[in-house]
Each structure stands twice: as structure tokens, then as C-alpha cells.
């Protein structure tokens, strides 16, 4: 079974993003970029399936600017076999990404696609579900455990109030939650090896997908701030303030 893992290049999760003063977006110039953390978990899970003999090949695909090849290299350094870069400029929305991925899936014929549950830039949480819809495949979002059962899958999902386990008819779409695994670091020899692994260069035009955004971004603004309040000296003062001043007791 081949496993396809789509990955996104995003602002590194340690970077404090700044909104541009003209309200046109967030500052992306000279900002450290990395693989979306949920996608790292997806790559890791695919590699574990391969190491367990359940998967034969792990293919990493990214849709984005030329620099997204670095993100693919990260996946290859972790241990993926090869990459596909679909070059696209500007903002490509989840629906358009899902349409491109559908075409990639049709060409690659994987038995499983593992995606991060959401990208930490636009926080949309849509692409996996949309891809499943377009392919007419089963889906399991927010996975914390994934088991292969022949060509089918058993997935435990993080849902409000607990865990749900479902069985998916393969081929299937799984999106990762935080507790699925802890992604490995790429070792230096593997980083060197990754440089020789093939990356297929494609463009959006190769797949004939219209990527015109459906959402027009009118403005990007700082969130309303919250001011620091007062420090109280002890529990008695705290209780008093909550009772008389805040009125919440």
C-alpha cells in the first residue's frame, strides 16, 4: 500500500506573527518557515506504517511556492521515499488544494492519505474532509490511533468529551491530532540522503484546477487586546474582589 502525505509550508509555530500595519495580511518576509506541525505527525505516522511493513511507499506532496520543496525535503529527510511539488503562487484555499490533491491521488493511487488536521496559519481544518468528499472516500479526522486491517482501517478519534473509534473502508482519508505520535527528528545522514531523493516538479496547470479564491480577504487586523488587571495580595482579597467588584461569585 502506498501512503500519500500532503504537507504545507507555514510560519514556524514558535514565531509570533505580526499583522501588517496596512491590514493586508501578516508579515511573512524574513520569517522562519517550517512544515505544519500536524503534517509532521502525518509524515511520522506514514513512516511507522512503512516500518511496520504495512506500507510500501511514502510519497510527500506539497502545493505552494518553489520554497515548498524545502518542506518536502524535510519529509524526505524524515524518511519519505519521494516528493511531488505542485507549484502555485499566492493563497490557494483548502477547496482548491483538495481538488489538486484529488488529481494527485488519481495519478498515484494510494491506499491511504494522511493529512494534518489543520494548518496553523489559516486554521481552516478543511482539506482532508474536502479531499474525502471529492474522492467519495471514507474519512477519520482528529486521529489519535491508526490501525491497518487489510485494506481497511480502524481509527480512534479525539472528539468533544472523549474518544470515538470507527472503521473505515479503504482507500481512506485520515487527519492527525496531536497525540497520534511524536514525530522524529531527521538525522544528519538522512538529511544528506534526502538530497538525492526525487521530487517531481508539477504546476497547478498540469492538473487543470481553477484556484481562484472563493473568499475575498477584506482586512486582516490585530485581535482586540486585553489589559492586565490588578495583583491581589492574598486569597481573602481575591475572594472579596470577585464578590464585590467582579460580581462573579
Interaction with other proteins in 152-181: which residues (CB under 8 A)? 154, 158-169, 172, 178-179
Q: Burial, 19: exposed, middle or buried (Cβ in 10 Å; 0-12, 13-18, 19+)?
A: middle
- Give me the least distance between CB of 227 and other proteins, in Å please: 8
Cα distance between residue 223 and residue 120, in whole Å: 17
- Give me the least distance between CB of 83 and other proteins, in Å please: 25
Interaction with other proteins in 212-231: which residues (CB under 8 A)? 213-223, 226, 228-231
- DSSP annotation of 26: B
Check if the beta carbon of residue 141 is closer than 8 Å to that of residue 4. Answer: no
Cα distance between residue 61 and residue 84, in whole Å: 5
Cα distance between residue 56 and residue 49, in whole Å: 9
- Give me the least distance between CB of 40 and other proteins, in Å please: 14
Q: Any contact of residue 208 with other proteins (CB under 8 A)?
A: no
Interface size with other proteins, residues (CB under 8 A): 76
Q: Any contact of residue 194 with other proteins (CB under 8 A)?
A: no
Cα distance between residue 58 and residue 65, in whole Å: 22
Task: Enter the C-alpha cell of residue 75.
Answer: 519529509
Q: Any contact of residue 239 with other proteins (CB under 8 A)?
A: yes
Residue whose C-alpha is closest to residue 41's, from 11, 81, 8, 83 = 8
Q: Any contact of residue 17 with other proteins (CB under 8 A)?
A: yes
- Give me the least distance between CB of 29 and other proteins, in Å please: 16
Per-residue binding string, other proteins, 91-130, x by CB under 8 A, is --xxx--x---------------------xxxxxxxxxxx
Which of 34, 71, 74, 138 binds other proteins (CB under 8 A)? It is 138
Which of 4, 11, 35, 115 binds other proteins (CB under 8 A)? It is 11
Interaction with other proteins in 21-80: which residues (CB under 8 A)? 26
Distance spanning both ends of the chain, measured CA to CA: 59
Amino acid at each position: 500500500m502506498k501512503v500519500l502525505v500532503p504537507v504545507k509550508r507555514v510560519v514556524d509555530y514558535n514565531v509570533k506573527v505580526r499583522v501588517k500595519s496596512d491590514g493586508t495580511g501578516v508579515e511573512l518576509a524574513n520569517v522562519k518557515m517550517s512544515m505544519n506541525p500536524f503534517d509532521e505527525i502525518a509524515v511520522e505516522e506514514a513512516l511507522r506504517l512503512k516500518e511496520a511493513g504495512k506500507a510500501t511507499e511514502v510519497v510527500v506532496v506539497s502545493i505552494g511556492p518553489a520554497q515548498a520543496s524545502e518542506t518536502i525535503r524535510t519529509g524526505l529527510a524524515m524518511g519519505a521515499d519521494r516528493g511531488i511539488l505542485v507549484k502555485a503562487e499566492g493563497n490557494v484555499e483548502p477547496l482548491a488544494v483538495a481538488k489538486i490533491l484529488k488529481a494527485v491521488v488519481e495519478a498515484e493511487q494510494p491506499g491511504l492519505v494522511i493529512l494534518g488536521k489543520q494548518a496553523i496559519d489559516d486554521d481552516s481544518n478543511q482539506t482532508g474532509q474536502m479531499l474525502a468528499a471529492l474522492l467519495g472516500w471514507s474519512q477519520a479526522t482528529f486521529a489519535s490511533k491508526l490501525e491497518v486491517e487489510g485494506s481497511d482501517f480502524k481509527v480512534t478519534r479525539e472528539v468533544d468529551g472523549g474518544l470515538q473509534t470507527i472503521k473505515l473502508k479503504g482507500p481512506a482519508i485520515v487527519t492527525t491530532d496531536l497525540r497520534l505520535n511524536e514525530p522524529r527528528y531527521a538525522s544528519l545522514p538522512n538529511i544528506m540522503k534526502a538530497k538525492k531523493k526525487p521530487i517531481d516538479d508539477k504546476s497547478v496547470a498540469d492538473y487543470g484546477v481553477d484556484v481562484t479564491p472563493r473568499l475575498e480577504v477584506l482586512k486582516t487586523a490585530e485581535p482586540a487586546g486585553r489589559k492586565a488587571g490588578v495583583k491581589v495580595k492574598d486569597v481573602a482579597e481575591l475572594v472579596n474582589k470577585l464578590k464585590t467588584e467582579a460580581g462573579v461569585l
